[in-house]
Protein backbone atom coordinates (compact mmCIF):
# COMPACT_ATOMS: atom_id res chain seq x y z
CA UNK A 1 0.00 0.00 0.00
CA UNK A 2 1.48 3.31 -1.13
CA UNK A 3 0.10 6.51 0.36
CA UNK A 4 1.16 9.65 -1.49
CA UNK A 5 0.95 12.83 0.56
CA UNK A 6 0.76 16.20 -1.18
CA UNK A 7 1.56 19.14 1.10
CA UNK A 8 1.96 22.91 0.93
CA UNK A 9 5.63 23.19 -0.05
CA UNK A 10 8.15 25.62 1.48
CA UNK A 11 5.83 25.92 4.47
CA UNK A 12 6.37 24.85 8.09
CA UNK A 13 2.68 24.09 8.62
CA UNK A 14 2.54 22.17 5.35
CA UNK A 15 5.48 19.93 6.31
CA UNK A 16 4.19 19.47 9.87
CA UNK A 17 0.75 18.52 8.54
CA UNK A 18 2.29 15.93 6.20
CA UNK A 19 4.38 14.46 9.02
CA UNK A 20 1.46 14.39 11.45
CA UNK A 21 -0.77 12.77 8.83
CA UNK A 22 1.89 10.09 8.30
CA UNK A 23 2.09 9.25 12.01
CA UNK A 24 -1.70 9.32 12.39
CA UNK A 25 -2.17 7.03 9.37
CA UNK A 26 0.43 4.54 10.60
CA UNK A 27 -1.02 4.43 14.10
CA UNK A 28 -4.75 4.48 13.37
CA UNK A 29 -5.31 3.40 9.74
CA UNK A 30 -2.62 1.11 8.33
CA UNK A 31 0.64 0.38 10.15
CA UNK A 32 2.82 -0.82 7.28
CA UNK A 33 1.90 1.63 4.52
CA UNK A 34 4.69 3.12 2.41
CA UNK A 35 4.69 6.91 2.12
CA UNK A 36 5.74 9.20 -0.70
CA UNK A 37 5.70 13.02 -0.54
CA UNK A 38 5.08 15.72 -3.13
CA UNK A 39 5.17 19.46 -2.48
CA UNK A 40 2.53 21.77 -3.97
CA UNK A 41 2.96 25.49 -4.60
CA UNK A 42 0.55 28.23 -5.55
CA UNK A 43 1.37 29.36 -9.07
CA UNK A 44 -0.36 30.83 -12.08
CA UNK A 45 -2.25 28.20 -14.07
CA UNK A 46 -3.06 24.63 -13.04
CA UNK A 47 -2.17 23.77 -9.45
CA UNK A 48 -2.50 20.01 -9.80
CA UNK A 49 -1.03 17.43 -12.14
CA UNK A 50 -3.37 14.45 -11.92
CA UNK A 51 -0.65 12.26 -13.40
CA UNK A 52 1.26 12.56 -10.12
CA UNK A 53 -1.59 11.20 -8.01
CA UNK A 54 -0.23 7.68 -8.27
CA UNK A 55 -0.69 6.38 -4.73
CA UNK A 56 -3.09 3.61 -3.75
CA UNK A 57 -4.39 6.43 -1.57
CA UNK A 58 -3.64 10.13 -2.11
CA UNK A 59 -3.79 12.84 0.55
CA UNK A 60 -3.60 16.63 0.34
CA UNK A 61 -2.81 18.61 3.49
CA UNK A 62 -2.70 22.39 3.95
CA UNK A 63 -3.57 23.04 0.30
CA UNK A 64 -6.59 23.58 -1.93
CA UNK A 65 -9.22 20.94 -2.57
CA UNK A 66 -9.02 18.67 -5.61
CA UNK A 67 -12.39 17.53 -6.97
CA UNK A 68 -11.19 14.15 -8.17
CA UNK A 69 -11.84 10.51 -7.34
CA UNK A 70 -8.06 10.20 -7.02
CA UNK A 71 -8.13 12.21 -3.79
CA UNK A 72 -8.65 10.01 -0.72
CA UNK A 73 -7.78 12.30 2.23
CA UNK A 74 -7.92 16.10 2.54
CA UNK A 75 -7.30 18.51 5.40
CA UNK A 76 -7.22 22.30 4.99
CA UNK A 77 -7.85 25.47 6.98
CA UNK A 78 -7.48 28.22 4.36
CA UNK A 79 -10.46 30.45 3.73
CA UNK A 80 -9.67 30.18 0.01
CA UNK A 81 -9.68 26.38 0.01
CA UNK A 82 -11.66 25.87 -3.20
CA UNK A 83 -10.68 26.84 -6.73
CA UNK A 84 -14.33 27.50 -7.64
CA UNK A 85 -17.92 26.97 -6.48
CA UNK A 86 -18.12 23.63 -8.27
CA UNK A 87 -15.21 22.28 -6.22
CA UNK A 88 -16.84 23.47 -3.02
CA UNK A 89 -20.11 21.79 -3.96
CA UNK A 90 -18.18 18.60 -4.76
CA UNK A 91 -16.67 18.67 -1.27
CA UNK A 92 -20.01 19.36 0.39
CA UNK A 93 -21.46 16.26 -1.27
CA UNK A 94 -18.62 14.13 0.14
CA UNK A 95 -19.63 11.33 2.50
CA UNK A 96 -16.26 9.60 2.83
CA UNK A 97 -15.35 10.87 6.33
CA UNK A 98 -11.79 11.39 5.10
CA UNK A 99 -11.95 14.99 3.83
CA UNK A 100 -12.10 17.86 6.29
CA UNK A 101 -12.15 21.65 6.20
CA UNK A 102 -12.32 24.32 8.91
CA UNK A 103 -10.98 27.86 8.35
CA UNK A 104 -11.35 28.64 12.07
CA UNK A 105 -8.04 26.90 12.83
CA UNK A 106 -4.77 28.88 12.78
CA UNK A 107 -2.82 25.90 11.46
CA UNK A 108 -3.65 22.82 9.43
CA UNK A 109 -1.49 20.81 11.84
CA UNK A 110 -3.73 21.69 14.81
CA UNK A 111 -6.84 21.02 12.72
CA UNK A 112 -5.52 17.63 11.58
CA UNK A 113 -4.55 16.70 15.15
CA UNK A 114 -8.01 17.65 16.39
CA UNK A 115 -9.79 15.56 13.75
CA UNK A 116 -7.41 12.61 14.18
CA UNK A 117 -8.00 12.61 17.94
CA UNK A 118 -11.76 13.17 17.97
CA UNK A 119 -12.75 10.93 15.04
CA UNK A 120 -10.03 8.29 14.95
CA UNK A 121 -8.73 8.07 18.54
CA UNK A 122 -5.22 9.31 17.70
CA UNK A 123 -2.98 10.14 20.68
CA UNK A 124 -1.89 13.78 20.23
CA UNK A 125 0.28 14.01 23.35
CA UNK A 126 3.52 12.80 21.64
CA UNK A 127 3.12 15.51 18.95
CA UNK A 128 2.15 18.36 21.30
CA UNK A 129 5.31 20.40 20.59
CA UNK A 130 4.84 20.11 16.85
CA UNK A 131 1.19 21.17 17.03
CA UNK A 132 1.99 24.11 19.33
CA UNK A 133 4.71 25.49 17.08
CA UNK A 134 2.74 25.00 13.88
CA UNK A 135 0.00 27.11 15.47
CA UNK A 136 2.52 29.78 16.51
CA UNK A 137 4.28 29.91 13.14
CA UNK A 138 1.22 29.76 10.88
CA UNK A 139 -0.86 31.93 13.20
CA UNK A 140 1.91 34.55 13.62
CA UNK A 141 1.46 34.22 17.38
CA UNK A 142 4.85 35.63 18.38
CA UNK A 143 5.21 38.05 21.29
CA UNK A 144 6.60 40.77 19.06
CA UNK A 145 8.04 41.48 15.63
CA UNK A 146 11.50 41.48 17.21
CA UNK A 147 10.97 37.89 18.41
CA UNK A 148 9.63 36.83 15.00
CA UNK A 149 12.66 38.26 13.21
CA UNK A 150 15.29 37.07 15.73
CA UNK A 151 15.11 33.46 14.44
CA UNK A 152 16.20 31.90 17.73
CA UNK A 153 13.67 29.08 18.18
CA UNK A 154 14.20 25.72 16.42
CA UNK A 155 10.80 25.96 14.71
CA UNK A 156 11.68 29.35 13.25
CA UNK A 157 15.02 28.08 12.00
CA UNK A 158 13.37 25.08 10.41
CA UNK A 159 10.87 27.43 8.77
CA UNK A 160 13.77 29.48 7.42
CA UNK A 161 15.36 26.42 5.81
CA UNK A 162 12.06 25.31 4.28
CA UNK A 163 11.22 28.68 2.78
CA UNK A 164 14.67 28.98 1.18
CA UNK A 165 14.88 25.35 0.09
CA UNK A 166 15.68 24.41 -3.52
CA UNK A 167 16.32 20.67 -2.94
CA UNK A 168 13.26 18.51 -3.71
CA UNK A 169 14.47 15.85 -1.27
CA UNK A 170 15.01 18.17 1.72
CA UNK A 171 11.49 18.72 3.05
CA UNK A 172 10.48 15.05 2.60
CA UNK A 173 13.46 14.17 4.82
CA UNK A 174 12.14 16.60 7.42
CA UNK A 175 8.61 15.19 7.13
CA UNK A 176 9.96 11.80 8.17
CA UNK A 177 11.25 13.36 11.41
CA UNK A 178 8.93 16.19 12.44
CA UNK A 179 6.22 14.14 14.17
CA UNK A 180 8.73 11.79 15.80
CA UNK A 181 11.62 13.88 17.20
CA UNK A 182 11.92 17.09 19.25
CA UNK A 183 12.44 20.13 17.01
CA UNK A 184 15.74 21.00 18.71
CA UNK A 185 17.11 17.56 17.78
CA UNK A 186 16.01 17.97 14.17
CA UNK A 187 17.69 21.37 13.84
CA UNK A 188 20.90 19.84 15.19
CA UNK A 189 21.02 17.06 12.60
CA UNK A 190 23.85 17.64 10.10
CA UNK A 191 21.68 18.00 6.99
CA UNK A 192 19.79 20.84 8.70
CA UNK A 193 22.48 22.40 10.90
CA UNK A 194 24.81 23.03 7.98
CA UNK A 195 22.29 25.39 6.41
CA UNK A 196 21.60 27.61 9.41
CA UNK A 197 24.62 29.92 9.41
CA UNK A 198 24.50 30.96 5.72
CA UNK A 199 20.72 31.36 5.90
CA UNK A 200 21.00 33.62 8.96
CA UNK A 201 23.45 35.77 7.00
CA UNK A 202 20.98 35.87 4.10
CA UNK A 203 18.24 36.77 6.56
CA UNK A 204 20.22 39.79 7.77
CA UNK A 205 20.81 40.90 4.16
CA UNK A 206 17.11 40.59 3.43
CA UNK A 207 16.30 42.89 6.33
CA UNK A 208 18.51 45.57 4.82
CA UNK A 209 17.12 45.04 1.30
CA UNK A 210 13.53 45.38 2.50
CA UNK A 211 14.50 48.37 4.65
CA UNK A 212 15.92 50.05 1.54
CA UNK A 213 12.99 49.21 -0.75
CA UNK A 214 9.99 49.64 1.53
CA UNK A 215 7.84 52.58 2.49
CA UNK A 216 4.91 52.92 4.85
CA UNK A 217 2.22 55.43 3.89
CA UNK A 218 -1.32 55.42 5.15
CA UNK A 219 -0.42 52.60 7.56
CA UNK A 220 0.25 50.34 4.55
CA UNK A 221 3.73 49.12 3.62
CA UNK A 222 4.71 48.58 0.01
CA UNK A 223 7.98 46.99 -1.11
CA UNK A 224 9.27 45.65 -4.40
CA UNK A 225 12.19 43.21 -4.18
CA UNK A 226 11.78 41.62 -7.62
CA UNK A 227 15.32 42.81 -8.38
CA UNK A 228 16.73 40.43 -5.78
CA UNK A 229 16.77 36.70 -5.06
CA UNK A 230 14.53 36.92 -2.01
CA UNK A 231 12.14 34.00 -2.41
CA UNK A 232 11.37 32.90 1.14
CA UNK A 233 12.22 36.04 3.13
CA UNK A 234 10.91 36.30 6.69
CA UNK A 235 7.38 37.71 6.31
CA UNK A 236 7.57 39.64 9.58
CA UNK A 237 10.45 41.88 8.50
CA UNK A 238 8.13 44.60 7.11
CA UNK A 239 6.36 44.95 10.47
CA UNK A 240 9.66 44.92 12.33
CA UNK A 241 10.84 47.81 10.15
CA UNK A 242 7.49 49.66 10.20
CA UNK A 243 5.77 48.92 13.52
CA UNK A 244 3.16 51.63 12.86
CA UNK A 245 1.80 49.68 9.89
CA UNK A 246 -1.52 47.87 9.63
CA UNK A 247 -1.09 46.23 6.20
CA UNK A 248 1.74 45.26 3.87
CA UNK A 249 1.98 44.49 0.17
CA UNK A 250 5.17 43.02 -1.26
CA UNK A 251 6.31 42.06 -4.75
CA UNK A 252 8.89 39.28 -5.14
CA UNK A 253 9.92 36.80 -7.81
CA UNK A 254 11.19 33.26 -8.22
CA UNK A 255 11.84 30.94 -11.14
CA UNK A 256 8.17 29.94 -11.41
CA UNK A 257 6.16 33.03 -10.45
CA UNK A 258 5.90 36.69 -9.60
CA UNK A 259 4.27 36.86 -6.20
CA UNK A 260 2.25 39.51 -4.41
CA UNK A 261 2.26 38.95 -0.66
CA UNK A 262 -0.58 40.72 1.15
CA UNK A 263 -0.50 40.75 4.93
CA UNK A 264 -1.51 42.52 8.09
CA UNK A 265 0.56 43.42 11.13
CA UNK A 266 -0.01 40.71 13.79
CA UNK A 267 0.76 43.27 16.50
CA UNK A 268 -1.52 46.09 15.37
CA UNK A 269 -4.40 47.18 17.58
CA UNK A 270 -6.39 48.36 14.56
CA UNK A 271 -10.02 47.29 14.33
CA UNK A 272 -12.35 46.70 11.38
CA UNK A 273 -9.62 44.86 9.46
CA UNK A 274 -10.31 44.21 5.78
CA UNK A 275 -10.52 40.58 4.64
CA UNK A 276 -7.30 40.05 2.67
CA UNK A 277 -8.29 36.64 1.30
CA UNK A 278 -11.23 38.21 -0.52
CA UNK A 279 -8.96 40.86 -2.05
CA UNK A 280 -6.50 38.20 -3.23
CA UNK A 281 -9.29 36.03 -4.65
CA UNK A 282 -10.24 38.82 -7.06
CA UNK A 283 -6.81 38.41 -8.69
CA UNK A 284 -6.77 34.61 -8.65
CA UNK A 285 -5.06 34.21 -5.29
CA UNK A 286 -6.31 33.55 -1.78
CA UNK A 287 -5.35 32.81 1.79
CA UNK A 288 -6.71 33.84 5.16
CA UNK A 289 -8.54 36.92 6.39
CA UNK A 290 -5.30 38.40 7.74
CA UNK A 291 -2.80 37.16 5.15
CA UNK A 292 -2.92 36.10 1.51
CA UNK A 293 -0.99 35.93 -1.74
CA UNK A 294 -1.36 36.05 -5.52
CA UNK A 295 0.84 34.31 -8.09
CA UNK A 296 1.46 35.54 -11.64
CA UNK A 297 3.42 33.80 -14.41
CA UNK A 298 7.19 34.38 -14.42
CA UNK A 299 8.03 37.63 -16.11
CA UNK A 300 4.51 39.06 -15.87
CA UNK A 301 5.76 42.05 -13.88
CA UNK A 302 3.45 44.59 -15.48
CA UNK A 303 0.23 42.85 -14.47
CA UNK A 304 1.59 41.98 -11.03
CA UNK A 305 2.76 45.55 -10.45
CA UNK A 306 -0.61 46.94 -11.50
CA UNK A 307 -2.44 44.56 -9.18
CA UNK A 308 -0.11 45.40 -6.31
CA UNK A 309 -0.66 49.13 -6.83
CA UNK A 310 -4.43 48.64 -6.88
CA UNK A 311 -4.30 46.63 -3.65
CA UNK A 312 -2.04 49.19 -1.96
CA UNK A 313 -4.45 51.98 -2.90
CA UNK A 314 -7.41 49.99 -1.58
CA UNK A 315 -5.69 49.16 1.72
CA UNK A 316 -4.54 52.74 2.25
CA UNK A 317 -8.05 54.02 1.59
CA UNK A 318 -9.47 51.46 4.01
CA UNK A 319 -6.91 52.37 6.67
CA UNK A 320 -7.73 56.06 6.25
CA UNK A 321 -11.42 55.33 6.85
CA UNK A 322 -11.10 52.88 9.72
CA UNK A 323 -7.72 53.05 11.42
CA UNK A 324 -6.90 56.74 11.71
CA UNK A 325 -5.32 57.57 15.05
Alpha-carbon 284 to chain mean position: 17
Say what the pLDDT of residue 324 is.
59
Residue 84 maps to a domain: yes
Asked whether residue 117 carries a pLDDT value surpassing 70, the answer given is: yes
Whether 253 and 135 share a structural domain: no
Say what the pLDDT of residue 162 is.
96
Tell me: the pLDDT tens digits for 5-39? 999 999 999 999 999 999 999 999 999 999 999 99
Whether 124 and 243 share a structural domain: no
Domain enclosing residue 257, as ranges: 215-322
Whether 44 and 178 share a structural domain: yes
Whether 30 and 153 share a structural domain: yes
The fraction of the chain above a pLDDT of 90, given in percent, is 89
Contact criterion met (CB below 8 Å) for 145 and 236: yes
Asked whether residue 98 carries a pLDDT value surpassing 60, the answer given is: yes
Average pLDDT, the chain: 94
Residue 208 maps to a domain: no
Say what the pLDDT of residue 65 is.
96
Whether 174 and 245 share a structural domain: no
Closest CA to 176 of 321, 37, 6: 37
Say what the pLDDT of residue 321 is.
87
Residues 6+ apart with CB under 8 A from 80: 64, 277, 280, 281, 285, 286, 287, 292
Asked whether residue 218 carries a pLDDT value surpassing 60, the answer given is: yes
Whether 316 and 180 share a structural domain: no
Say what the pLDDT of residue 12 is.
97
> CATH number for the domain including 298?
3.10.310.30
**pLDDT classification of 46: cutoffs 50, 70, 90:** confident
Per-residue pLDDT, averaged over 252-265, amounts to 92
Asked whether residue 254 carries a pLDDT value surpassing 90, the answer given is: no
Per-residue pLDDT, averaged over 94-120, amounts to 96
Whether 73 and 149 share a structural domain: yes
Whether 19 and 160 share a structural domain: yes
Say what the pLDDT of residue 193 is.
97
Whether 135 and 261 share a structural domain: no
Asked whether residue 50 carries a pLDDT value surpassing 70, the answer given is: yes
Residue 201 maps to a domain: no
**pLDDT classification of 144: cutoffs 50, 70, 90:** very high
Per-residue pLDDT, averaged over 230-234, amounts to 82
Residues 6+ apart with CB under 8 A from 298: 253, 254, 255, 256, 257, 258
Asked whether residue 44 carries a pLDDT value surpassing 80, the answer given is: no
Whether 20 and 156 share a structural domain: yes
**pLDDT classification of 230: cutoffs 50, 70, 90:** confident
Q: What is the 3-state secondary structure (H, E, C) of the chain?
A: CEEEEEEECCCHHHHHHHHHHHHHHHHHCCCCCEEEEEEECCCCCCCCCHHHCCCCEEEEECCCCCCCCCCCEEEECCCCCCCCHHHHHHHHCCCCCCEEECCCCCCHHHHHHHHHHHHHCCCCHHHHHHHHHHHHHHCCCCCCHHHHHHCCCHHHHHHHHHHHCCCCCHHHHHHHHHCCCCHHHHHHCHHHHHHHHHHHHHHHHHHHHHHHHEEEECCEEEEECCCCCCCCCCCCHHHHHCCCCCEEEEEEECCCCEEEEEEECCCCCCCCCCCHHHHHHCCCCEECCCEEEEEECCCCHHHHHHHHHHHHHHHHHHHHHHCCC
Asked whether residue 77 carries a pLDDT value surpassing 60, the answer given is: yes
Residue 109 maps to a domain: yes
Contact criterion met (CB below 8 Å) for 74 and 62: no
Tell me: the pLDDT tens digits for 269-289? 998 999 999 999 999 999 999
Per-residue pLDDT, averaged over 118-140, amounts to 97
Whether 147 and 265 share a structural domain: no
How many distinct structural domains can be found in the chain? 2
**pLDDT classification of 59: cutoffs 50, 70, 90:** very high
Residue 69 maps to a domain: yes
Residue 272 maps to a domain: yes
Amino acid sequence: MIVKVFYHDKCFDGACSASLFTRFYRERIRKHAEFQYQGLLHRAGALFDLGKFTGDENAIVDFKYLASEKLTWWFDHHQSAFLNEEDQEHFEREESNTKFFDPAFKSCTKFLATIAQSRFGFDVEPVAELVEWADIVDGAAYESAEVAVAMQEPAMRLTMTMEANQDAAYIPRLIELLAYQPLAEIVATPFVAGQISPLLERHQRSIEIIRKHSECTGQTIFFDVTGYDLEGYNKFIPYYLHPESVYSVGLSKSSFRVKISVGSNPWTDAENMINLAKICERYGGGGHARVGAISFPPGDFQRATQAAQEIVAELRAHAARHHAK
